[in-house]
Structure 1
Amino acid sequence: MSQGEEIIGPDFALGIASGEVAEGAPMRGHVAGKAAIMVRKGGEVFVVGAFCTHYHGPLAEGLVVGETIRCPWHHACFSLRSGEAERAPAFDALARWRVEQIEGVIFARERIRTAAPKTAPARAPGSVVIVGAGAAGFAAAHALRAEGYDGAIEMVGADPAEPYDRPNLSKDYLAGSAQPDWLPLRDPAWYRDNRVSLRLGRRVLSLDLAQRRILLEGGESVGFDALLLAAGADPVRLPIPGADASHVHYLRSLADADRLIAAAAGAKRAAVIGASFIGLEVAASLRARGLEVHVIAPEAVPMARILGPDLGAHIRRLHESHGVVFHLEDTATEIGADALTLKSGGALAADVVAIGVGVRPNVALAEAAGLAVDKGVLVDEYLETSEPGVYAAGDIARWPDKITGERVRVEHWVVAERQGQTAARNMLGRRERFEAAPFFWSQHYDQAISYVGHAPAWDRAELSGDPAAGDCAVTFYAGGRKLAVATLGRDLESLQAEVAFERAIGAL
């Protein structure tokens, strides 16, 4: 049994006095050697598994909302009644036990079997094609089967690898602390057992919306009744000499990560161009591999535009405490075989170079097909494009966001997964609005930043707590409207901010 499954707290099978179980406050314990939590909600008591099925987050530290519990780490949401994972990034259900109350004592009894599968509506499409095998694409395929859809599902992806955990590429996987077999979102057998046809390493050349077909390279075409576009984004390439040299790396795919890992094995000094989230995560991972790391970026304070000056300055100090050297308010003008030329006039030696200066959404297919496109594929609140029966999700989707009051496009993993789930349910006629508050997390050494909401521009940032102590929150406003909350070491506050945004969205 792993340390995370350590058996602590009372044995729920032996009984817990009813008065000891507070309303909405998860109690940690165990049943038959399995870690569990007990939660009272109104007149009912539920006993479910103690750890999130995504990254094993401790649900006893999570937040109970209605008949659900949310993970403190990455905001997955589970039904207390069924154990079902209701929202990404978790997909597997929690274990659950039957509860019995006798004379003021609560007992956990036998394990309850998985709930019966759902039945899809009679008007469900005959076939679904998903363009893109990333976060949104996988989540959509999974949701379709979870909702009882029995028709054909074809998933087409340019990446030759089966859907995998992309956020890990710049974090633990690149650092060397996550094994390759941790990355796949599902075992290959899952796709076979659930009849999800994968066409990987294949590019879609065009969409024929009139004939409801997609054309693949090689001349093959695939028909559809409903279509999800989840083509993702590609890294922005620096337009400077040497940016495409063999020792220069852009991190987007598993193959990119493997090439960077191989290059790092024979290198001593790395240069990272860009102090974005991915750039600094790469810097931290390369430091974990023992490389000397230099970061070049044009801003005065890393990530200040997103996180504010206080939290941005803390992130800089954190990286510097681990040996990262910053070259701020500067840019690279040329990349040579063993050194970079800086705009400031200096030169910086480097064996390997990683570039993280943003991504560009893959909207060419949609635009060529005549779909409405403006800085992304335009979708309505149901994630449907200008063509009925065609949906878009993930990095390419630009939807009407009630937090900002504007159309937004967000390049984050959890957003893509949740949009994939919503689009899938809407293909089945559920008419579910996408109203989740955007969420992402970023890992830097032993500190994780959580960010809820979306603040592309803000005029006021309020700090509470102390970043240096690893305990703070920054709230971002524009014109008096609260747009986002970033937290460090305050997981519960991050969850509470998410719920507040959702309730505000629902009231609009």
Structure 2
Amino acid sequence: MIADYTEAPVCHVDDMVDGELKEVRVGDTDVLLARADSQYYALYPKCTHYQGPLAKGLLNGHRLVCPWHNACFDIRDGHRLEAPALNGLPTHEVRIENDQVFVRLTTNKESLENPMAALDDAASETYVIVGGGGAGAFAAEGMREGGFTGKIIMMTESSEAPYDRPNCSKDYLQGKAPDEWMPLRPDEFYKDYGIEIRTNQQVTLLDPTKKQIELASGETISYDKALICSGGKPNVLPGLNTNLKGVYSLRSLHDSQTLRDLGKQGKRVVIVGSSFIGLEGAMSLRKLGSEIDVVGTEKTPFEKILGEKIGHVIQGWHEKEGIRFHLGRKVDHIEGEGTVTAVILDNGERIPADFVLLGLGVKPRTDFLKGIALEKDGGVKTDNYLTISDGLYAAGDIAHYPVADGFQRIEHWKVAGQQGHTAGLTMAGKDEPYTAIPFFWSNQQGKRINYVGHITQIDDIIYEGDLEKDDSFLALYVQDGQVKAAAGLKRDQDIIAIRELMHEGRMPAVETIRNGLKWVEELKKA
């Protein structure tokens, strides 16, 4: 507990400039000091998502962005503005006296919920969320933040309430994250705010005309508004014998638990797919003691996403840990009578295997929608407010949403959470268009790569830093004469600045960038 009145001078009034962040000490407590519009603000110094050090983040106006996973907060009241953080930051009192800045501690809490409405039993409306992932979790809270007091029902096929899915391929799979870390919220939270979570529920039909949802159990639920955030179904190998045991995907908490138990037994594992899930799975299973072979169709991992040079560097990180690669190859078939024994490649190479992990991406799970036009990949098209039709919305992996040059569909945790929150607010009557710039992160052998923007074809890459030394680099991806994406290692502030510039429509021209820019300074230009 902090004292009832703990106050201390922390700096001179002119010691900091607008946009500056600094961690200070008040008594025995660390405090983040921020300055914007000539005003000082004091907040809890760590991100409420994974406790990232906010002093190493970036302040753009009143927007405070975490360096690790780009959660965003308002320094004026501490409210959480963007996923992946769920809670906001506690604030402390600031006063100025004789040109000294004083901070008075006013709370001992590490996080605060954004203000939310409670369930009113007298309210007649029912909102249904189909899907219990990040989009669904943030949507339910967005509805309550937007003032909706009616009934909220979340339907999920999972046996779990919403949990931290990105961790399933990282620390949790490695056995470094205990079970209690995984739920996004305790059960009491959902009870307190009247959010009914129905697990093990398979939706077989959603009829937007009747505004009804049918379940595999035979039950029918009527809704006033519904949000579809049903996520994706893992892709499988063509011609795979579905009765063959020992072939797994990594999509759920249960998948991660199963693979973790197998990985500890020192098994021989073949991973099919050399992108993010495949290589995060390879990293984690290798740390558990498994022998790992990775098969990928690309000649270099991540070639189409990060480029050949960075892909080659990342491959080297994994090879140093004993992971073997078979690239530019396809799986011809999987051997085994009842259980996997080997993977046969298209060149005849035979790789012994005790089990196989498929990391081949996902397909939108939308087969239960009636009368809704689907895109070629199975997704659904929305407007700027994530609306499909009257009273029906979409968010997350299934949503094709409008951008300046068409539509795009993104399969990232932060995007899903922010889309869910935006849809929830809109459904509650707080119309808010979705305009966020995509962001994701990946842990490759303990090195966090942050990626911002979206690109469908790499025309050129502008590099900053020495890729071979792999201590820090920034890559800017050019398509149609514009920088549309960037990836960075230990360039957290630069990635944040680029994302903010993209959001504000202020990205410099390619030729200007080639001449060298300091991104944080560029952001602060009027």
Question: Please, what TM-score do these two structures have when normalized by structure 1?
Answer: 0.92
SS of residue matched to 1:318: helix
| CA offset digits 1:338-365 (Å, max 9, x no partner) | 2111111111112121110111001212
| Match of residue 177 from structure 2 | 178
| CA offset digits 1:102-142 (Å, max 9, x no partner) | 0101111141696993679x9x9822110000010001001
Task: Give unmatched runs, 5+ long, in structure 2.
Answer: 509-526
| Match of residue 407 from structure 1 | 407
Structure 1 pair 329–309 and aligned structure 2 pair: CA distance change class (3 A): same
| CA offset digits 1:218-247 (Å, max 9, x no partner) | 111222111100000010011244565221
Bigger mean CA offset, 207-216 vs 294-303? 207-216
Structure 2: how far apart are the matches of 1:110 and 1:286?
44
| Match of residue 94 from structure 2 | 99
Q: Which letter maps to 2:418? A: R
Structure 1 pair 378–125 and aligned structure 2 pair: CA distance change class (3 A): farther
Q: Tell me how far 1:149 sits from its aligned partner.
A: 2.0
Asked if the contact 2:137/2:162 (under 8 Å) is kept, the reply is: yes
SS of residue matched to 1:145: helix
| Match of residue 517 from structure 2 | none
1:316 to 2:315 alignment: yes
Structure 2: how far apart are the matches of 1:163 and 1:202?
14
SS of residue matched to 1:283: helix
Task: Give unmatched runs, 5+ long, in structure 1.
Answer: 2-10
Structure 2: how far apart are the matches of 1:349 and 1:77?
46
Structure 1: how far apart are the matches of 2:71 and 2:85?
5
| Match of residue 79 from structure 1 | 74
| Match of residue 163 from structure 2 | 164
Q: Which letter maps to 1:269? A: R
Structure 1: how far apart are the matches of 2:256 and 2:426?
34
Question: Please, what TM-score do these two structures have when normalized by structure 2?
Answer: 0.89
Structure 2: how far apart are the matches of 1:239 and 1:417?
32
| CA offset digits 1:277-296 (Å, max 9, x no partner) | 00000000011111111101
Asked if the contact 2:146/2:429 (under 8 Å) is kept, the reply is: no
Q: Tell me how far 1:15 sits from its aligned partner.
A: 3.7
| Match of residue 351 from structure 1 | 354
Structure 1: how far apart are the matches of 2:411 and 2:288?
27
1:388 to 2:387 alignment: no
Report the number of matched residues.
492
SS of residue matched to 1:74: coil
Q: Tell me how far 1:372 sits from its aligned partner.
A: 5.4
Structure 1: how far apart are the matches of 2:457 and 2:450?
18
Asked if the contact 1:240/1:335 (under 8 Å) is kept, the reply is: no
Q: Tell me how far 1:210 sits from its aligned partner.
A: 2.5
Bigger mean CA offset, 353-362 vs 22-31? 22-31
Asked if the contact 2:233/2:364 (under 8 Å) is kept, the reply is: yes
Asked if the contact 1:77/1:88 (under 8 Å) is kept, the reply is: yes
Q: Which letter maps to 2:262? A: A
Structure 1: how far apart are the matches of 2:331 and 2:374?
36
Asked if the contact 2:483/2:507 (under 8 Å) is kept, the reply is: no
> Identity of aligned pairs, percent?
36
SS of residue matched to 1:357: coil
Q: Which letter maps to 1:438? A: P
CA RMSD of aligned residues (A): 2.2
Structure 2: how far apart are the matches of 1:160 and 1:388?
30
Q: Which letter maps to 2:416? A: A
| Match of residue 447 from structure 2 | 447
Asked if the contact 1:25/1:39 (under 8 Å) is kept, the reply is: yes
Q: Which letter maps to 1:484? A: A
Structure 1 pair 33–224 and aligned structure 2 pair: CA distance change class (3 A): farther
SS of residue matched to 2:46: coil
Q: Tell me how far 1:14 sits from its aligned partner.
A: 3.5
Structure 1 pair 102–485 and aligned structure 2 pair: CA distance change class (3 A): same
Asked if the contact 2:10/2:25 (under 8 Å) is kept, the reply is: no
Match for 1:377 among 353, 359, 380?
A: 380
Q: How does 1:175-254 map to 2 (within 5 A)?
A: 175-242=174-241, 245-254=244-253
| CA offset digits 1:170-219 (Å, max 9, x no partner) | 11111121111111100111111111001111011111223322111211
Q: Which letter maps to 1:338? A: T
Q: Which letter maps to 1:482? A: V
Q: Which letter maps to 2:480? A: G
Structure 2: how far apart are the matches of 1:475 and 1:43?
33
Structure 2: how far apart are the matches of 1:339 and 1:151?
54
Q: Tell me how far 1:12 sits from its aligned partner.
A: 6.7
| Match of residue 7 from structure 1 | none
SS of residue matched to 2:115: coil
Match for 2:22 among 5, 22, 27?
A: 27
Structure 1: how far apart are the matches of 2:417 and 2:117?
22
1:127 to 2:122 alignment: no
Q: Tell me how far 1:60 sits from its aligned partner.
A: 0.2
Asked if the contact 1:62/1:69 (under 8 Å) is kept, the reply is: yes
SS of residue matched to 2:437: coil
Q: Which letter maps to 2:290? A: L
Structure 2: how far apart are the matches of 1:363 and 1:317?
38
Q: Tell me how far 1:27 sits from its aligned partner.
A: 0.8
SS of residue matched to 2:505: helix
Structure 1: how far apart are the matches of 2:25 and 2:137?
33
| Match of residue 422 from structure 1 | 422
1:117 to 2:112 alignment: no
Match for 1:338 among 328, 333, 341?
A: 341
